[in-house]
A and B are shown apart, each in its own frame.
Chain A
Amino acid sequence: MHITDETLTDAQVVHVSGRLDSTTSPLLEQYLLSVVESHPRVIVDFTRLDYISSAGLRVLLMAAKKSRARSGAFALCALKPALREVFEISGFLSIIAVHPDAESARQAFSS
């Protein structure tokens, strides 16, 4: 797994690539919770994410809850079909906003 983040004018985008599993999810936990603490609007871009398990979902829910507690905005974008199925099965599509790309996530924050 590889994580980078990018600053847009009104949102912070975290790019995650590779495998988000029980071994790598603690790294994302640390990274993402710290981004959510310092930025009110956070988008996690999964364009290059190939795999996610419940360990990864756990981190996303923690980050979404933390963002909400701070009255922030939190969204995901660019889920591959196999990943989307995991989100659907877990009921995450109704609790975390998912957009086709970072730009539409950013626009949804502003509307």
Chain B
Amino acid sequence: MATPPVELRNKRLLLDYQLPSQLGEIAKLAEAVEGVLPNRPDLAFTANLCLEELITNTINYGLSGAPDRVIRVRISLSDDWLEILLKDDAPPFDPFAEAPTPDLDLDIDERPIGGLGVHMVKSMMDAAHAYYDGSGNLIVLLKTLRS
């Protein structure tokens, strides 16, 4: 049986942010996210972690380090969900399809350095999807508000 569609009831936009494509800008975004979620530091932490992982991917790989582009971040709250939208103007790239799943059972000598960012986003969010809309990649993340 099909599961009912996610309903984003009473959705309101909390933050609409234009981030210059530089790693040093992410800390300012993090402060803005904390500022719009003052009563939910847990959600702000999760949102900031996922944003950093995806934005560093976009800057380093999607944009090959180009510092003069803009990544748009929108954060909304509905009755039951936190919604995060990320939009870049990089070539088509789906981090959720392309990043290999890390093997978390390897012992310390065998664990590779790195490769955890996308895994963390998938683990912390309830839904994570990427779309290419002709002008760039749109990433949509949803996280339940139930703690």
Hey, which bits of chain A sit against chain B, CB under 8 A?
19, 21-23, 51, 53-55, 57-58, 61-62, 64-65, 68, 82, 86, 89-91, 95-96
B49 near A23: Cβ-Cβ < 8 Å: no
Most A-side CB within 10 Å, residue of B27, B48, B102:
B27
> Does B2 sit within 8 A of A, measured CB to CB?
no
Q: Which 9 A-B pairs have the closest CB atoms?
A: A91-B104, A95-B108, A54-B117, A54-B116, A89-B123, A82-B45, A53-B52, A22-B56, A22-B23
Whole-angstrom distance from the CB of B123 to the nearest CB of chain A? 5
> Does B113 sit within 8 A of A, measured CB to CB?
yes
Q: What residues on A are CB-neighbors of B46 within 8 Å?
A: 82
> Does B79 sit within 8 A of A, measured CB to CB?
no
Contact residues of A: prevailing secondary structure = helix
A89 near B117: Cβ-Cβ < 8 Å: no
B113 near A58: Cβ-Cβ < 8 Å: yes
Known A89-B123, A90-B104, A90-B119; contact A21-B52, beta-carbon cutoff 8 A: yes
Which of B24, B41, B109, B116 has a CB less than 8 Å from the CB of A57? B116
Q: What residues on A are CB-neighbors of B49 within 8 Å?
A: 51, 53, 86
15 A-B pairs (CB sep. < 8 Å): A19-B30, A22-B23, A22-B26, A23-B26, A51-B45, A54-B120, A55-B56, A58-B116, A61-B108, A61-B111, A82-B41, A90-B119, A90-B120, A95-B111, A96-B108
B26 near A54: Cβ-Cβ < 8 Å: no
B119 near A89: Cβ-Cβ < 8 Å: yes
Q: What residues on A are CB-neighbors of B105 within 8 Å?
A: 91
Q: What residues on B are CB-neighbors of A89 within 8 Å?
A: 119-120, 123-124
Q: In chain B, what residue has the closest Cβ to A68?
A: B108
Q: In chain A, what residue has the closest Cβ to B107?
A: A95
B104 near A65: Cβ-Cβ < 8 Å: no
> Does B42 sit within 8 A of A, measured CB to CB?
yes
Q: In chain B, what residue has the closest Cβ to A69?
A: B109
B104 near A53: Cβ-Cβ < 8 Å: no
A86 near B120: Cβ-Cβ < 8 Å: yes
